[in-house]
Amino acid sequence: MIKHDEILEMPVLSTKEGKDLGRISKMAIDLKEGQVVGFLIEDRNGREILLPIGDVDTYGKDVIMASSENNLKKMDDLAEMAEAIEFGGKIIGLKIITKEGENFGEIASFCFDEKSGLITHYVTSRGVLNGLMHGEGLLPREGVWGLSLDALVVTKKSVEISDIMKTGPGIKQKTGAAVHKTEQIVKTAIRKVGEIVTL
């Protein structure tokens, strides 16, 4: 599973030619399937080309390896991909609404399967301050009811799951954990002091 923002702006090299192809500028996403179908690469001259997801050899720590420069598609040939490319640029910040009509925040990022491209989780945000305090939620794919250029519609149950599943702890959880640890250290010290005094 790969997170959207981990590979955005990553350099792409071709395995066969060893050529620097450019950097990933955005993703092409099939709206109907909720699936990454390719990556838009911007080369050094500012031209954009598409790397289909099936032609990625490796998602490296520093570089993405594409099988061959010959498998890239020029923008002129991508009329049928126009909606997927447009949505790839708009998915971050898309509002999340429950089936009951309640605003749940927006998409901050998403995770996808590296082989199939299926989006497995949406990273949710209820604002910067809320994210700092509580952490960002993970909304599972199974909870998605509908997806469009206007909104991600989800079930109430998936919202509850998102409140439990987090990408990492927020300040509130970190502070609580630090306080608990400090309390344990103080209790241990008091007990040891008590043992010494009774001797």
Query: For the chain, what are the domain ranges?
Result: 2-89, 95-174
Q: In sequence order, which residues have a C-beta less than 8 Å from that of residue 139 and are 6 or more positions away?
A: 96, 121, 122, 123, 124, 154, 158, 159, 161, 162
162 pLDDT band, cuts 50/70/90, is low
Once rounded to an integer, what is the mean pLDDT over residues 25-42? 91
Residue type, 82: A
- On the CB side of 199, how many CA atoms lie within 13 Å of its CA? 5
Residue type, 158: S
Q: What is the pLDDT of residues 43-63, one digit of tens each?
A: 888 888 899 999 999 999 999
- Residue 23's nearest CA partner among 4, 45, 42 is 42
CB atoms within 10 A of CB 28: 26
Q: What is the pLDDT of residues 77-131, one digit of tens each?
A: 677 788 888 888 889 999 999 999 989 889 989 999 999 999 999 988 865 444 4
Q: How far apart are alpha carbons 52 and 90 in whole angstroms?
A: 19
Once rounded to an integer, what is the mean pLDDT over residues 131-151? 76
Q: Is the domain defined by 2-89 classed in CATH 2.30.30.240?
A: yes
Question: What proportion of the chain, given as a percentage, has pLDDT over 70?
Answer: 77
H-helix segments, the chain: 4-7, 82-90, 128-134, 156-164, 171-198
Residue type, 70: N
Q: How far apart are alpha carbons 110 and 140 in whole angstroms?
A: 10
2-89 and 95-174 in the same fold: yes
pLDDT of 183 reads: 65
Burial label for 196, CB within 10 Å (0-12, 13-18, 19+), is exposed
Once rounded to an integer, what is the mean pLDDT over residues 182-198? 70
- Radius of gyration over every alpha carbon of the chain, rounded to an integer in angstroms: 22
pLDDT of 51 reads: 92
Q: Give me the chain's average pLDDT, please.
A: 81
pTM: 0.71
Span of 21-30, 98-107, 133-142, 160-169 with lowest mean pLDDT? 160-169
76 pLDDT band, cuts 50/70/90, is low
Which of these CATH numbers, 3.30.70.1400, 2.40.37.10, 3.40.50.300, 2.30.30.240, describes 95-174?
2.30.30.240
